Every structure is written in C-alpha cells, then in structure tokens.
Amino acid sequence: MLKTISFLALIILHFSCKTPEKKHNQLSAVIDHSLKVATQQSLRMAESLKDQPDKLPQTIDKKGDLVTCNSAWWVSGFFPGVLWYLYENDPTDSLRLWAENFTMRVEDQQYTTDNHDVGFMIFCSFGNGYRLTGNPEYKEVIHNASKSLITRFNPTIGCIRSWDYASWSAQWQYPVIIDNMMNLELLEWSAKAFNDTTFSHVARTHANTTMKNHFRDDYSSYHVVSYDTITGAVEKKNTSQGYSDDSAWARGQAWGLYGYTMMYQETGDKVYLEQATHIADFILNHPNLPEDKIPYWDFNAPDIPNALRDASAGAIMCSALLELSGYVSQEKTDSYLKIAETQLRSLSSDKYLAKPRENANFILKHSVGHMPNKSEVDVPLSYADYYFVEALMRAKELVKQGKM
Ligand code: GLY
C-alpha cells in the first residue's frame, strides 16, 4: 500500500514539475517554427522582387499571383518591417541586406503630405531599421516623415486628416479613420528623439479627440468620423470598410486596441490604458469571437458562423494584447496572454500559416482587405504578416522572461 502511494506521489510530482516546462517548450517551438517559415518565405519574396526595385509586396490576385505596389500605397512599409523583425530574430547578412534594400524603396514617402499613412509607411520600415542599426540617415527620414504628418493636423478639429481623395470630398469634409491611431507612434517617437513637443501635442490631441468621437457606449468603434472644417463639430460617423455603419469592423477594433495600447506605452497616461482595456473587453467578451480567437472580418457580419475570418485583425489584436498584458492586473494579464497565445497558435496552424513556396511567399493566408468593395477578400496581406511577425517576437520575449 505504502509502495503504491509513493509511486502515485512520484507520478504526481513528475507531472506537476514537467507540465509547465513542456507547455513552455511547446509554445517556443511554435514560435520558432513560425519565425522559420516567415524567414524562408520572406527571403524568397525579396528575391522574387530583386529586378523590380520600386515594387513592394501587397497581396495576390485571383490566380494566386503576387500583386505589388509602389511606395505610395499605404502598405509599402510593412514588408521592409517584416524583414527587420526577422533580422532581429536571426541577424544574418542576407536578411539585413534585403531589409535595407526594401526600406530604401519607401524613402520618398518621407515627404508625403497627401494622406496619413506616412506613419505606417515610414515607421514600420525606417523606424525598425533605426531601432536595430542606429543608422543616422534613417533617423533623418523619420524626422521628415513626422514633419510631413503634422501638416495634416487641424487644431480646430483636433485631428490629423486621414484621406484627401477628391472623389470622397463630396462624402466627407474631413475624414478621420480609426486606423490613424497607428500613425501616432511615429510622432511620439519623434517627440522624444528630437525633443519637440509639437509632435506629442498633435499625437495626444488626435488620440483624445478620437477617444471622444469614434467610440460607441460599448467601446466598439466607427471606422470613419468626419468633421465640419469650420466648426470642428462631428459631421458624420460611418463604417466604410465594415458591414454597416453601426457594425464593429474587426480590423478597426484591432487598430483601436493597438493604438491606445501604444499611446499608453509611449505616454504613461492612464486614460489611454483604460481605453485600451475597455476595447480589449469588448473584443474578448464578444459572443461572435470564435474559438480560435481569429475574428470574422466584421463582428456583425450577417453570415456568421460562415463569414470569412480576417487574419490581419487577429494578428494586430494578438500583438497588441501581448503588449497590453504587461500593464494590467494579474487577472487581466492572464486573460490577455491566454487569448494572445490562442491567436498565435491559430495563426501558426496549417489553416493560416503558408506552406513553403505557397501563398506567393506571403506568411499568412485568409485576410480581408475591403469587403464592401470586394477587393482583397480572403487573401494574404503584407500587414497581416507584419503584425504576426511582431507578435511572434513579442511572445518570444515573454516566453524568455517566463511570462508565457
Ligand atoms: N488602413 C486601411 C485598412 O486597415 O484597411
């Protein structure tokens, strides 16, 4: 009898010691595998564009062939950013040379003043490049881009204008989209690097105005809020890329979550942290968030559970939750990390992660760009890849610190 009890005790001890380590190792293995796939796919992608020096990866067409863009399209900075993160993970000469090569393809966007996307374009490429190399030329590009971006700030409205397109002028006087929150990181960074409070004043005013006008009572957000250019009052609230004006477009919720998490990280202002946790609560408690935690393209898509998923929204949310988990109570940390881990594992599964040489060398499958326009539906997108690789790097660090 005593022997049996000792034997059972030994087994219990064995499993209680082994289980956390085993779980830990398994997650590291998932992360390492995905980073390996990402590296192989991205090196092939870079190689495939070596003879088209002004092109950057965007998505695929109906035949599954690569679609590229030039530097002026809003996604241009993501692939250079992917290469920088992969270089950070595995500092080889080839990754660095390609990262430098693709970063320089975006350089002319530092002077862009006709849209708000200069933050995405320059900070994902040159921002990561500067973080990892300290190249002073990159720093100057970031400075110029910040100066370009703040030309779009209107103090009466308290926001940076998102779009200028002439065809939309009839629809919106002064459109500001939730995605614009992402561009504020460029400004907060520049405020510190160049000791210039103008940049942080613009970023914080924009974040505060957006917090006031973009969010509904349940902390879901509209996509577009347009303002009256004379009075500064709200003119219209729409959800142009979502199912309907009142719906919760998944990527919009992800941009908001990431945007306010980043604003807290940059400023330490608790108001932004509270906003980020409210947005996280909306997403995490939503009855339409599926088991694998990769959202449908819109939380209110009418054909749920048959609606398409948006891997890009899942990747952005995952990266944001990993960051946010470091700033909240233990209870919230546990819940954010649990969801982020599920997202990471889902995106690393065969359902979403590309097989070598498939998916036109993008990393993730199954994102939705603009459903109402029927463009880029159920395809790879360079920004899904960027935020996925960023999330992998963040998770890798948390695993190293024993927090995941
Ligand atoms: N910034 C455009 C999008 O999220 O589709």
Q: Name which residue sits closest to atom 1 of ligand 1, judged by CA.
A: 179
Residue 117 designated active-site:
yes
**pLDDT of 252-274, one tens digit each?**
999 999 999 999 999 999 999 99
pLDDT of 2 higher than 60: no
User: How far apart are alpha carbons 74 and 116 in whole angstroms?
Assistant: 9
Ligand 1 interacting residues, C-beta cut-off 6 A: 74, 179, 241, 251, 369
pLDDT value at position 23? 58
Q: Please say if 179 is a catalytic residue.
A: yes
8 assigned to some structural domain: no
| Residue ranges making up the domain that contains 140 | 40-400
Mean pLDDT of 359-372: 98
Side chain identity at residue 10, one-letter code? L
Residues 317 and 252 sit within 8 Å (Cβ to Cβ): no
**Omega into 295 within 30° of 0, i.e. cis?**
no
**Amino acid 382: pLDDT:** 98
Q: What is the mean pLDDT of residues 43-68?
A: 98
100 located within any domain: yes
Burial of 329 (0-12, 13-18, 19+ CB in 10 A): exposed
β-strand partners of 66: 60
For the stretch 208-222, pLDDT in tens is 999 999 999 999 999
30 belongs to a structural domain: no
Estimate the share of the chain in helix, then strand, then coil, as percent rounded to the nearest 5: 55, 10, 35
Residue type, 101: N
8 Cα to the center of ligand 1, angstroms: 56
Residue 170: predicted pLDDT: 74
Supply the pLDDT for residue 10: 47
> Which pLDDT belongs to residue 15?
47
d(CA 388, CA 261): 17
- Mean pLDDT for 221-249 is 97
Report the alpha-carbon distance of residue 266 to residue 395 in Å, rounded.
20
* 300-342 confidence digits (pLDDT tens): 999 999 999 999 999 999 999 999 999 999 999 999 999 999 9
- Which pLDDT belongs to residue 165? 72
Is 12 inside any structural domain?
no
Q: Domain containing 103 — which CATH number? A: 1.50.10.10
CA-251 nearest atom, ligand 1: 4
Q: Does some domain include residue 371? A: yes
Q: Is the pLDDT of residue 166 over 90?
A: no
DSSP 8-state code for residue 227: E
DSSP 131-175: HHH--HHHHHHHHHHHHHHHTTEETTTTEE-----GGGTTT-SSE
Q: What is the rounded average pLDDT of the residues 50-65? A: 98
CA of 288 to the centre of ligand 1 (A): 21
Residue in the structure block whose two tokens are 């289980």: 19
Using DSSP's 3-state secondary structure scheme, residue 301 falls into coil
33 part of a folded domain:
no
pLDDT of residue 22: 57
Q: What's the pLDDT score for residue 344?
A: 98
The per-residue pLDDT for 20 is 52
How many domains would you assign to the chain? 1
Are the C-beta atoms of residues 298 and 312 closer than 8 Å to each other? no
> According to the model, what pLDDT value does residue 65 have?
98
- Label residue 24 by pLDDT band (50, 70, 90): low
* Ligand 1 atom at minimal distance to the Cα of residue 370: 5
Asked if residue 287 has pLDDT above 80, the reply is: yes
* pLDDT number for residue 86: 99
Mean pLDDT throughout 153-179?
90
pTM of the model: 0.94
Tokens representing residue 202 in the block: 């613009």
| Residue 74 alpha carbon, nearest atom of ligand 1 | 1
With respect to residue 13, please indicate whether it lies within any of the assigned structural domains. no
Task: Count CB neighbours of 239 within 10 A.
Answer: 23
- Position 209 in a domain: yes
Q: Annotated catalytic residue: which of 117, 298, 310, 385?
A: 117
